[in-house]
Structure 1
Amino acid sequence: MPDQQEIELQAAAFRRLQQHLMQDRTDVQNIDLMNLAGFCRNCLSRWYQEAANARGIEMTKEEARELFYGMSMEDWKKNYQTDATSGQQAEFKEAFAKNVGEG
């Protein structure tokens, strides 16, 4: 498969994942994604930012989140985020440290 074709397929798959998480499954909480899979929507937006920055494109965390979420983080939380249980928060602390790091 030619490199450009592979890039286009990867981009299409990413856009479909983004649509799935941002439109089709807004009911799935970020904390549950992180606890089960080791990544969440915020991780995807951070990877988006890191890819931009690696290519010399300046992008803040907030800008990356707004591009990925299609709205401000504040609006996402207001519209879709629910309060996490103490059990979810404990699992998240462990999953975050394992998959993202301490900081």
Structure 2
Amino acid sequence: MPTQTEIELQAAAFRRLQKHLMEDRTDVQNIDMMNLAGFCRNCLSRWYQEAAAEKGIEMSKDEARELFYGMTMAEWKANYQTEATGDQQKAFEKAFEENVGKG
């Protein structure tokens, strides 16, 4: 069982990752993250939602995304998301299946 200090350090590291992805590197597209690393911002928001569910907290996918992104998905897409190329989309389909499962 982790100590309270370890939990606090993990939470601080998560907040720093979130800030890095949401403020410092908005230029990095989710599709590129998924294709290269097997996860993206949407995965992180889904993990947030799953952690809430484990604690008995109901949270929709949209609510989890808004909490993680600090804005709605529509706002994020309008401000930062670019069109994916055919090659990116093809690589994404493979990465998604390998890392998330069949959609």
Matches within 5 A, 1:10-29: 10-29=10-29
Gaps of 5+ in 1: none
User: How much has 1:69 moved relative to structure 2?
Assistant: 0.1
User: How much has 1:78 moved relative to structure 2?
Assistant: 0.2
Q: What is the CA–CA distance in structure 2 between the aligned matches of 1:37 and 1:75, rounded to whole Å?
A: 24
Q: What is aligned with 1:49?
A: 49
- Residues matched between the structures, number: 102
- 2:94 alignment partner AA: E
- 1:11 alignment partner AA: A
Percentage identity across aligned positions? 76
Q: What is aligned with 2:35?
A: 35
Matches within 5 A, 1:1-103: 3-103=3-103
User: How much has 1:60 moved relative to structure 2?
Assistant: 0.4
Q: What is the CA–CA distance in structure 1 between the aligned matches of 2:81 and 2:67, rounded to whole Å?
A: 18
User: How much has 1:44 moved relative to structure 2?
Assistant: 0.1
Q: What is the CA–CA distance in structure 2 between the aligned matches of 1:49 and 1:60, rounded to whole Å?
A: 7
User: How much has 1:83 moved relative to structure 2?
Assistant: 0.1
Q: What is the CA–CA distance in structure 1 between the aligned matches of 2:101 and 2:73, rounded to whole Å?
A: 22
Root-mean-square deviation (Å): 0.7
Q: What is the CA–CA distance in structure 2 between the aligned matches of 1:3 and 1:56, rounded to whole Å?
A: 22
TM-score by length of 1: 0.98
- Give CA-to-partner distance per residue, 1:40-92, whole Å, 9 cap, x none: 00000000000001100000000000000000000000000000000000000
Q: What is the CA–CA distance in structure 2 between the aligned matches of 1:88 and 1:23, rounded to whole Å?
A: 23
Q: What is the CA–CA distance in structure 2 between the aligned matches of 1:79 and 1:10, rounded to whole Å?
A: 29
User: How much has 1:17 moved relative to structure 2?
Assistant: 0.1
Which ranges of 4 or more aligned residues in structure 1 deviate by more than 4 Å?
none
